[in-house]
Amino acid sequence: MTSSAPPSVPPPPGSSRSHGSTKLGQAPILQTDRLTKLYPLPQGLFGKPRFLRPLDGVTIYVRRGETLGLVGESGCGKSTLARVLLYLVEPTLGRVHFDGKDLARMSAAQLRATRRRMQIVFQSPSSSLNPRMTVYEVVAEGLIIHRLTRSFHERKERVEALLAELGLGPDVMDHYPHELSTGQRQRVGIARALAVGPDFVVCDEPVNALDPSLQAEVLNLLETRQANHGLGMLYMSHDLRLVAQTAHRVAVMHLGRIVEMGPTRAVFETPRHPYTRALLSAARPSDDPQRRSLAALSPSAVDPPPGCAFHPRCPRFARGLCDVETPTLVETAPETHHRVACFRPEG
């Protein structure tokens, strides 16, 4: 990969998040440029090479103090994107810039230091927490690795205070993950991510294991941290209600591509891409047969349709165009920051 300046980012629109306001910094903390990830698949002796393409030219940005919501069906590439952003998996093509620096050009030592500032809350706490470590050891591990505390006493106080913010008493510090409930394990995973004071956090379904009252408490904690420290977040969830409450902007992903992106209110209230409309419709109870047919056929990321990958399910399909060419993200109107990748967007 060659280094180049990160792609330009337009001035920030006003916050569309309904619960409180956040002053968005002008500079992105993280941005990508046409990220693509390919995984080779087994083939016969004379077979044509085949690839799984979970990411296909993804360009996004997240500003300091901003939450970008990422939504889409299971298997659309959200989790792969999360791992590529943190360089847990290297992209096949494209670049990731963090705080203006290309991660591909960092040394191993620089990347380790940068990872303290980039954290992730995994979707499954049961598989992401080391079963041989106590809660204290799990949360304190990053503090020890990055030498962020000067003594055991200071470290223990910091862990205890963070757990308390998440509604966990000091008694859990000596417990192992299997001794906790699913909701408690999820909060321990969040504490581990926040303990090192990151600048950017990927939240992969961070509150899906919590009851509604705890969901609100944890989201309020994340919002407070964001307001006080300029924390940038990528919030991935199937729960569109939580995304609407949490995100300043939303990106809609379909088969590894971003098909719509813009301020949360604009995307949810005036969706322009047929796939976005189908997602929103699927989230509401309905007897609409068209809604059921849209959800019935899901193309494969191994062998996606040519052109726009949504065209087999699209009610606005134009033969000879949608099944041949791939649309790019285009702003729906000047200065709206609302973009859609569709030849026949709905108004």
The answer as to whether 19 is a domain residue is no
Measured at the alpha carbon of residue 128, what is the angle toward residues 198 and 201, in degrees to the nearest 5? 20
Task: Please count the structural domains in the chain.
Answer: 1
Query: Residue 266 to residues 95, 217, 238, 258, 294: CA-CA distances in angstroms?
Result: 28, 26, 19, 16, 22
For the stretch 120-157, pLDDT in tens is 998 777 778 899 999 999 999 999 999 999 999 999 99
Could you list the residue range(s) of the whole structural domain that residue 102 is in? Answer: 28-38+52-271
The answer as to whether 312 is a domain residue is no
Query: What's the token pair of residue 88?
Result: 């847990």
pLDDT score of 147: 92
First to last CA, the chain: 39
Q: 14-23, 61-70, 180-189, 299-308: which has the minimum mean pLDDT?
A: 14-23
The answer as to whether 289 is a domain residue is no
Tell me how far apart the alpha carbons of residues 161 and 164 are, in angstroms, rounded to a whole number: 5
Query: What's the token pair of residue 115?
Result: 């990872």
The answer as to whether 114 is a domain residue is yes
Tell me how far apart the alpha carbons of residues 41 and 51 are, in angstroms, rounded to a whole number: 5
The answer as to whether 210 is a domain residue is yes
pLDDT score of 300: 64
Of residues 254 and 283, the one with the higher pLDDT is 254
The answer as to whether 260 is a domain residue is yes
| Nearest alpha-carbon partner for 238 in 78, 120, 72 | 72
pLDDT score of 285: 63
Question: Which spans in the chain are helix H?
Answer: 78-85, 108-115, 125-128, 135-145, 152-165, 182-195, 212-229, 240-246, 264-269, 274-282, 289-296
For the stretch 213-235, pLDDT in tens is 888 888 888 898 898 889 999 99
Residue 319 has pLDDT above 80, yes or no: yes
Alpha carbon 321 to its chain's center: 31
pLDDT class for 8, splitting at 50, 70, 90?
Answer: low
CATH of the domain at 199: 3.40.50.300
| Nearest alpha-carbon partner for 202 in 40, 87, 301, 91 | 87
For the stretch 193-212, pLDDT in tens is 999 999 999 998 888 777 88
The answer as to whether 342 is a domain residue is no
Task: Using a pLDDT cut of 70, give the percent of the chain over it.
Answer: 86
Query: Residue 160 to residues 217, 252, 321: CA-CA distances in angstroms?
Result: 17, 37, 59
For the stretch 64-78, pLDDT in tens is 999 999 999 888 889
**Pairing between β-strand 101-102 and β-strand 93-98 as defined by DSSP bridges:** antiparallel
If DSSP codes are grouped into helix, strand and coil, which group holds residue 3? coil
What is the amino acid identity at position 30? L
pLDDT score of 27: 81
